[in-house]
């Protein structure tokens, strides 16, 4: 019997009838209606709220929200933890929110950290934005602060969100690459959306690959309103500040960690809590009086802008401590449902067009992901405040409602449950006058796309600027179409001329004179999807030190992972003295050796081995110590893996300490000449004839995290 050609099969014919080619076609809705404006949500005036009647936005967002089941469309890979938030002082002057009403008031919380782009099985170490979502179980109901580890976003209007995510996800023709933006589709989109330039600078900095979820900042991204008992409005921006400081890893580390332990961040969070090293974050707010809304040289409602702390300092209002791991990952971390629309009295929304779209999108997403309208009844999502309403039925209903009344108003049920007056804690939306035309447009006050990208660049130290430049070279180097590379570098000319020049040279072409117009149908576009005239307001603040990770809190080595490289013949006293000093500071010590089991010391005792060189690597540790012991050092000098361990530690700017015979190990490395005559504390390489005083200097070095001034790191083979 002749085999059927799959290209001529009935099934293939059936599939062919559903194929669609958009080349040189007009943009339409799913109903075939041609779309005139796909860049702006319909709103009441340029700075007004988005309108529910915008069927184009609702169709686009609804389709997007339902594209993946069952994992989240974005933020699918996450880790969660329970904890408690404690207020520092009463904030009644600004908000009537109960959980901020008095000093010492405690509120239970659940936090989910996540990456954005990759699937559930992807690596923790992708260069990406991180989600930082907090659910406050307040006595007035659930409040969700749903943010990221970066204070600004890619787009200004939620109608572009499906396009952003489609572009950054794996390309649809082959579903590659995974968990990365380093491909044509994303950079094509980014080069056509200059408003994304600011956030891209953040992502390509050290913020894009945190050392730990416990060591990254969190932001609410949007400007929100706080409202007090008298109805007075104050604008706020939210910040989470980690008490361990803000730290990252370098790109070479990230790639290797992804191979050695793709669960690195998940494991780090889980083990820290299990070991009693509870992550702590202080909640801070930038407070802006209502009458000062328009005093800045940027628009307060623009989600691609931040308020420099040089202008408005962050006020610390409380501390969150994460002290308990989930009992079941699926039931809690996977089923938790966040929503920026889950607010309590005293907190309200602004007309930020991205926030307005999120208020619709999140409920729509949970309906498909969690199976219906009763996702609030899943234990992790349940309010600790009593819930009484006339909602009934639906998929997965758990509450057994008594009585015969499921409508309001009613008399047969005594009018219950009844509406709550404002003075008794009822939620009342802020009264705001709106007198505007229905329009698809964005306020001209949003049109400065580059000033804050320049501010961020100028605020970085030279090593941080080098890291950003190299990140652009990697990301854009993966792009196959040179016109996309050139268009993106054209935008970088508006950020910093030297940055653009260095990236262009690294990619192998002349730097463009400025932003380049896209083409449609092979010719320059008449109606661009973005305003390509270089708009830069030259804002007053030119540099803000708080934007540099080098400015972060330093000195605390709690939970830092320290590798001790040892072999048979190690000096027991060297190991014991330094280990005890580190553990007194709550650091974690692991013995790394050429073989498992136990190693014998020079005195004849035995020390258990935690990891072998075959099962771990320097990238999983924050610092390395090589204790003395002639026999141990001889064996390490013969171990290529031990030498590689030391090379990588130096190359990644981490602290190194060694005493006695250990310095002989340098003879087997490429770094001997680099560390012979250096200032030890300036470059974080501590070498002593004995362990006397070594531990104190080593602890100080670990507290600095990295030593960026090391020479010739690019020449160190690993």
Q: Please choose, from the candidates 427, 428, 426, 409, the residue with its C-alpha nearest in 3D space to the C-alpha of residue 417.
A: 409
Strand 623-626 and strand 561-565: the pairing is parallel
Using DSSP, state whether 147 is helix, strand or coil: strand
What is the set of active-site residues?
75, 148
DSSP codes joined into one string, 537-563: ---S----GGGSGGGS-----TT-EEE
Which residues, including other chains, have CB under 8 Å from residue 115's CB and lie 6 or more apart?
Answer: 75, 77, 78, 122, 124, 126, 128, 129, 130, 131, 179
Using DSSP, state whether 416 is helix, strand or coil: coil
Strand 656-659 and strand 623-626: the pairing is parallel
Inter-axis angle of helices 251-260 and 462-477, nearest 10: 60
Neighbours of 475 (CB within 10 A): 23
Q: How far apart are CA 584 and CA 702, in angstroms?
A: 14
SS3 assignment for 656-673: EEEEHHHHHHHHHCCCHH
Which residues, including other chains, have CB under 8 Å from residue 584's CB and lie 6 or more apart?
Answer: none
The answer for 12, left when phi > 0, alpha when psi is -120 to 50, beta otherwise, is alpha
Q: How far apart are CA 117 and CA 127, in angstroms?
A: 9
Cα-flanking dihedrals φ and ψ of residue 85, to 5°? Answer: -110, 135
Inter-axis angle of helices 640-651 and 630-637, nearest 10: 90
Q: How far apart are CA 674 and CA 276, in angstroms?
A: 39
**Contacts of range 306-312, beta carbons closer than 8 Å, 24 or more positions apart:** 306/151, 306/152, 306/237, 306/452, 307/237, 308/455, 308/541, 308/544, 308/546, 308/547, 309/544, 309/546, 310/541, 310/543, 310/544, 310/545, 310/546, 311/541, 312/237, 312/286, 312/287, 312/288
Q: How far apart are CA 566 and CA 642, in angstroms?
A: 9
Q: How far apart are CA 5 and CA 179, in angstroms?
A: 36
Cα-flanking dihedrals φ and ψ of residue 473, to 5°? Answer: -65, -40
Residues 142 and 381: beta-carbon distance below 8 Å: yes
Which residues, including other chains, have CB under 8 Å from residue 20's CB and lie 6 or more apart?
Answer: none
How buried is 5 (Cβ within 10 angstroms: 0-12 exposed, 13-18 middle, 19+ buried)? exposed
Which residues, including other chains, have CB under 8 Å from residue 176's CB and lie 6 or more apart?
Answer: 170, 183
Q: How far apart are CA 18 and CA 9, in angstroms?
A: 15
Give me the helices (H) in 424-543, please.
451-458, 462-477, 482-492, 497-507
Residues 243 and 588: beta-carbon distance below 8 Å: no
Q: State in Å, rounded, how far the first CA of the chain is from the last one.
A: 59
């Amino acid at each position: 019997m002749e085999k059927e050609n799959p290209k001529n099969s009935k099934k293939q014919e059936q599939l062919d009838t559903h194929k669609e080619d958009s080349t040189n076609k007009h943009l339409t809705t799913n109903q075939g209606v041609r779309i005139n404006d796909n860049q702006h949500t319909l709103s009441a005036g340029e700075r007004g709220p988005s309108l529910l009647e915008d069927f184009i936005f609702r169709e686009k967002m609804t389709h997007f929200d339902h594209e993946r089941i069952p994992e989240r469309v974005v933020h699918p890979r996450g880790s969660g933890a329970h904890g408690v938030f404690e207020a520092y002082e009463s904030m009644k002057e600004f908000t009537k929110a109960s959980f901020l009403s008095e000093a010492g008031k405690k509120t239970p919380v659940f936090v989910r950290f996540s990456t954005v782009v990759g699937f559930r099985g992807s690596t923790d170490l992708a260069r990406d934005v991180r989600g930082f979502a907090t659910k406050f179980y307040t006595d007035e109901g659930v409040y969700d602060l749903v943010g990221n580890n970066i204070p600004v976003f890619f787009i200004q209007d939620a109608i572009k969100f499906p396009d952003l995510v489609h572009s950054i996800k794996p390309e649809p023709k082959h579903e590659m690459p995974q968990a990365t933006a380093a491909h044509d589709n994303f950079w094509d989109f980014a080069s056509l959306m200059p408003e994304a330039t600011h956030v891209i600078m953040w992502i390509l900095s050290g913020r894009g690959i945190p050392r730990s979820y416990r060591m990254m900042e969190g932001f609410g991204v949007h400007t929100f309103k706080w409202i007090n008992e008298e109805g007075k409005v104050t604008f706020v921006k939210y910040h989470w500040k980690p008490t361990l400081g803000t730290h990252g890893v370098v790109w070479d580390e990230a790639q290797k960690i992804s191979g050695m332990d793709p669960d690195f961040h998940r494991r780090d969070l889980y083990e820290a809590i299990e070991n009693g090293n509870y992550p702590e974050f202080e909640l801070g707010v930038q407070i802006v009086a209502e009458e000062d809304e328009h005093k800045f040289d940027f628009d307060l409602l623009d989600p691609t802008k931040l308020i420099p702390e040089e202008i408005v300092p962050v006020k610390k209002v409380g501390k969150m401590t994460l002290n308990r791991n989930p009992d079941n990952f699926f039931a809690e971390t996977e089923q938790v449902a966040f929503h920026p629309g889950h607010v309590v009295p005293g907190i309200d929304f602004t007309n930020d067009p991205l926030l307005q779209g999120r208020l619709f999108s999140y409920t729509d997403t949970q309906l498909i992901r969690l199976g219906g309208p009763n996702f609030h009844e899943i234990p992790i999502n349940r309010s600790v405040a009593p819930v009484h309403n006339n909602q009934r039925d639906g998929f997965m209903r758990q509450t057994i409602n008594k009585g015969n009344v499921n409508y309001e108003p009613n008399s047969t049920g005594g009018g219950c449950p009844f509406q709550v007056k404002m003075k008794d804690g009822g939620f009342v939306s802020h009264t705001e006058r709106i007198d505007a035309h229905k329009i698809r447009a964005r306020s001209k006050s949003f049109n400065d796309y580059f000033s804050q990208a320049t501010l961020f660049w100028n605020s970085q130290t030279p090593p941080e600027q080098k890291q950003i430049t190299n990140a652009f070279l990697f990301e854009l180097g993966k792009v196959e179409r040179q016109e996309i590379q050139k268009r993106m570098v054209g935008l970088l000319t508006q950020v910093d001329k030297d940055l653009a020049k260095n990236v262009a040279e690294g990619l192998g072409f002349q730097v463009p004179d400025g932003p380049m117009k896209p083409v449609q149908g092979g010719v320059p576009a008449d109606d661009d999807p973005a305003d390509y005239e270089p708009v830069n307001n030259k804002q007053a603040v030119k540099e803000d030190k708080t934007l540099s990770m080098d400015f972060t809190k330093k000195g605390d080595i709690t939970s830092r992972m320290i590798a001790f490289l040892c072999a048979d013949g190690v000096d027991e006293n060297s190991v014991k003295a330094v280990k005890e000093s580190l553990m007194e500071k709550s650091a974690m010590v692991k013995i790394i050796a050429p073989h498992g089991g136990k190693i014998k010391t020079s005195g004849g005792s035995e020390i258990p081995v935690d990891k072998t060189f075959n099962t771990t690597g320097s990238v999983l540790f924050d610092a390395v110590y090589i204790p003395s012991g002639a026999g141990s050092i001889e064996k390490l000098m013969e171990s290529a893996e031990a030498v590689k361990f030391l090379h990588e530690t130096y190359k990644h700017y981490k602290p190194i300490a060694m005493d006695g015979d250990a310095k002989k190990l340098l003879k087997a490395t490429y770094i001997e000449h680099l560390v012979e005559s250096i200032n030890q504390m300036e470059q974080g390489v501590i070498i002593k004839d004995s362990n006397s005083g070594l531990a104190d200097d080593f602890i100080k070095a670990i507290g600095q995290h990295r030593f960026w001034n090391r020479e010739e790191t690019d020449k160190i083979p690993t």
